[in-house]
């Protein structure tokens, strides 16, 4: 009978009371030297890293030598940026028009047309007016876009907005 050699990679069978990672009783001597082996390995790794850190050059230096090429900027496809912005604005819940200019506009309009009827605004009232104004604008542009699509176009034109104004019943 030929004797087969048992591969060393196979896991050893554990005896009762022996922990999973601990060596057997025959390997007690190996356990004491493991810390020195670890320290030697750590020093070797640090020594291997040291020359690369000393030789490290900046991107400018490597570019001057010719080892690094400039990254080629690729032009994005048409409409990709616009679609990304649309998705971003659809996800957000914040107001689209900045608050300060909108509040100045509201106050100016009330001074011009309101006369002395409205002197002061609460912040919640100004915010409510802005919410309604933005909702109106969004609905107006949505319907204008539908009118443009009906005309077999993508771009909104003034004639689409005029059509939406004429058809506006509950806009």
Mean pLDDT over 95-119 rounds to 89
In a domain, 102, yes or no: yes
Determine contact, residues 164/140, Cβ cutoff 8 Å: yes
Q: Is the pLDDT of residue 11 over 80?
A: no
Q: Is the dihedral of CA 107, 113, 116, 118 positive or negative?
A: negative
Q: What is the pTM of this model?
A: 0.51
Q: Which range (8-22, 89-103, 119-133) has the least confidence?
A: 8-22
pLDDT value of residue 78: 84
Q: In which domain, by residue range, is 161 found?
A: 80-167
In a domain, 17, yes or no: no
| CATH value at residue 130 | 1.10.20.10
Mean per-residue pLDDT over the chain, rounded: 79
In a domain, 85, yes or no: yes
Q: Is the pLDDT of residue 120 over 60?
A: yes
In a domain, 157, yes or no: yes
Domain count, the chain: 1
pLDDT value of residue 27: 52
CA distance 39 to 27: 20
Helix axes 99-109, 123-150, angle to 10 degrees: 100
In a domain, 97, yes or no: yes
In a domain, 24, yes or no: no
59: Cα separation from own chain's centroid: 26
Tens of pLDDT, residue by residue over 53-67, are 545 667 777 777 776
The set of residues, in sequence order, having a beta carbon less than 8 Å from that of 99 and lying 6+ positions away, is 126, 127, 130
The percent of residues above 70 in pLDDT, for the chain, comes to 68
The most confident of the ranges 29-33, 92-96, 131-135 is 131-135
In a domain, 146, yes or no: yes
Helix axes 123-150, 158-167, angle to 10 degrees: 110
In a domain, 106, yes or no: yes
């Amino acid at each position: 009978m030929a004797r087969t050699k048992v591969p060393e990679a196979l896991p050893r069978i554990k005896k009762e009371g022996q922990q999973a990672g601990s060596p057997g009783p025959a390997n007690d001597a190996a356990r004491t030297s493991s810390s020195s082996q670890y320290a030697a390995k750590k020093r070797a790794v640090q020594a291997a890293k040291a020359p690369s850190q000393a030789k490290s050059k900046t991107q400018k230096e490597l570019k001057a030598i010719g080892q690094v090429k400039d990254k080629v900027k690729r032009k994005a496809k048409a409409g990709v940026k616009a679609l990304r912005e649309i998705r971003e604005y659809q996800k957000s819940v914040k107001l689209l028009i900045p608050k300060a200019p909108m509040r100045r506009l509201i106050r100016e309009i009330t001074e011009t047309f309101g006369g002395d009827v409205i002197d002061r605004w609460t912040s919640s009232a100004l915010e409510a007016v802005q919410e309604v104004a933005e909702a109106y604008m969004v609905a107006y542009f949505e319907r204008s876009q539908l009118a443009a699509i009906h005309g077999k176009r993508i771009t909104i034109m003034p004639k689409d907005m005029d059509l939406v104004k004429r058809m506006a019943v509950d806009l």
